[in-house]
Structure 1
Amino acid sequence: MSTPFDLDDAENYRRWREQKLADAPNSADELVVEVRDPRALTQIEYDAIADRLRRCNMVIYASPVHDADTEIPRLLGLQFGLAHLDANWLAGEDGISEIRVFDNGTRQHYIPYTDRPIKWHTDGYYNPPDRTIRGMVLHCVRSASSGGENQLMDHEMAYLLLRDEDPRHIRALMQADAMTIPERVDEGVRAAQSGPVFSLDAAGNLHMRYTARTRSIEWKQDSATVAAVAALERLLASDTPHVFKAHLEPGMGLLCNNVLHDRSAFVDDPTHPPRLLYRARYLDRISLAR
């Protein structure tokens, strides 16, 4: 299979790289598509969203629909071939998670369900290979009084910039044992998971598995991997124009092929309902067949 992500195919990579850089958005504003109703897109709205997805694997939609309804992300996802939800144990009965502050119960022990910042990651980095998270919808019902912004980066662009710096970074991060998530015993269900950072699916699409967490992460300690991880950390901390800052307001959402993202800390207003987002994570990659 011919793919630009083959380190031994310099010509294919050169062509892909040239097009990727030419198509890259110049600002977060270019990611935004106004839609009337995410549950039933018009063809014009669909085409505008598909354009962003082709260019950078993500889009931010903005709508006047402020309902607290998990059907919004579910029906949006279906229009892009996202059907197989990762029904993780903290999700709701419909497989979609309420991302809000929980003051009691199991969720309060997990950072997404607090008001604390979340470092750079791709979703489901701790999942086994048969539950790889390829697509995601993050839909905002209510925003916080302050904070809660996201930084976003196309994982293909991260690959490109790292490969340009040194192809050995990519080779190291594609090792099958590059990153290991140790066994978690308190859940009783999560075995240790080793795997690459960059990998290809059966169709040759690039997938990224990453977290900037330093606890409960074991990186392969060969010199090439240590150097590659350091290079990726520098890239994500840099002022590269390929990192976009976004703040989701009610009715807005992120649809993506599980791109790199983080979240800043936030503060809820005690006199108003708290921040609430719906997160739908899929085993599918986005399909643009409509």
Structure 2
Amino acid sequence: MQLAKQTLSVTSPFALDNEDLYQRWRDKKSFAYPNRISELFIEVKNPKQLSKGEHAAILALTQKTNMAIYIGNTGNNPSVEIPIAIANQFGLKQINKNWLADDTGLTSLKVANDDIRKKYIPYTNKLIHWHTDGYYNTPDQQIHALNLHVVQQAASGGENQLMDHEIAYLLLREKNPDYIRALMANDVMTIPAGTNADGSARPDRSGPVFSISSRGNLHMRYTARTKNIRWSSTPLVKEALEFLQQILNRQHSSYVFKGLLEPGMGLISNNVLHDRAAFTEDAQHQRHYYRARYFDRLANTDFKG
């Protein structure tokens, strides 16, 4: 197993050799941390033009938890301008345009029955396990921000669970710092070679679970999928992954936020851990979410020592 070598231009609490800085960050992070999903909600009058107070409230939450959920008044309005405007107000410009995305770069997540999309789980009504977005991307195209906007719910199901990846790091490090060291290895998690959705060949994609950006921020690359993935076989990696699964699947965890987003609501995040429950549709309730992935991070949420 090869450890990732990173030369940081700034100090970071996520580097294992910065124990004092880590402890200060840990104590600040843990203090008054939300323990209910309702504490992530911010009501907004016009999501396309937030007031100063609304913007400040959302920013404060993202600085604390790497995520916030806005409650807008747009209901079933399918305008792509809503999620694009929200992203712009938080400095997100570098959208990851995939070949199944709309012209804007947004991905319109609906159940697909008659085109290439039906081969991919996000376009079905099936369960999606815990993950961060873009874990199969190249190292230079990692996803640092993920936003969702709800146009329509399903008839039943489709709830999301959310967890701040920095909290996952904290719990792992508190249990055993060597878990972090193992998950920072640059070959710990590999998506085997295959074919991209556009038909082009894709080589093996290896990389760490946890990495540290040049600004000292933590990035997480993870999926709980059990097929088409190859993990390092070292015992410590196995232990770390088992403990991470315990963290994510723990019953009644105050760090896991579970809820069903309603039309007009949306998630703003620094690509936090999330999943999706299976769902059922009917003629009046056909689930429609907009998803936006960005190569940049939410503005003004960088680590500050």
Q: TM class by shorter-chain length? A: over 0.9
CA RMSD of aligned residues (A): 1.1
Deviation, 1:191, is 2.1
Judge conservation of contact 1:99–1:113 (CA < 8 Å) in 2. yes
Aligned to 2:79: 69
Deviation, 1:273, is 4.7
Match of 1:204 among 216, 221, 225: 216
Matched, 1:138 2:148: yes
Q: Deviations over 1:158-190 (max 9, x none)?
A: 000000010011000000001000112363242
Aligned to 1:263: 276
Which residues of 2 match residues 42-191 of structure 1 at below 5 A? 42-66=51-75, 67-185=77-195, 187-191=199-203
Aligned to 1:251: 264
Runs of 4+ displaced beyond 4 Å? none
Judge conservation of contact 2:26–2:170 (CA < 8 Å) in 1. yes
Judge conservation of contact 2:15–2:212 (CA < 8 Å) in 1. no
Judge conservation of contact 2:97–2:106 (CA < 8 Å) in 1. yes
Q: Deviations over 1:231-271 (max 9, x none)?
A: 1111111132100002110000000000000000011112x
Give 5+ residue unaligned stretches, structure 1: none
Look up the SS of the partner of 1:60 in the other structure.
strand
Judge conservation of contact 1:23–1:55 (CA < 8 Å) in 2. no
Q: Taking structure 1 as the reference length, what is the TM-score of the superposition?
A: 0.97
Percent of aligned positions that are identical = 48
> What code does the residue aligned with 2:68 have?
V
Aligned to 1:24: 33
Judge conservation of contact 2:155–2:285 (CA < 8 Å) in 1. no
Q: Taking structure 2 as the reference length, what is the TM-score of the superposition?
A: 0.92
Aligned to 2:233: 221
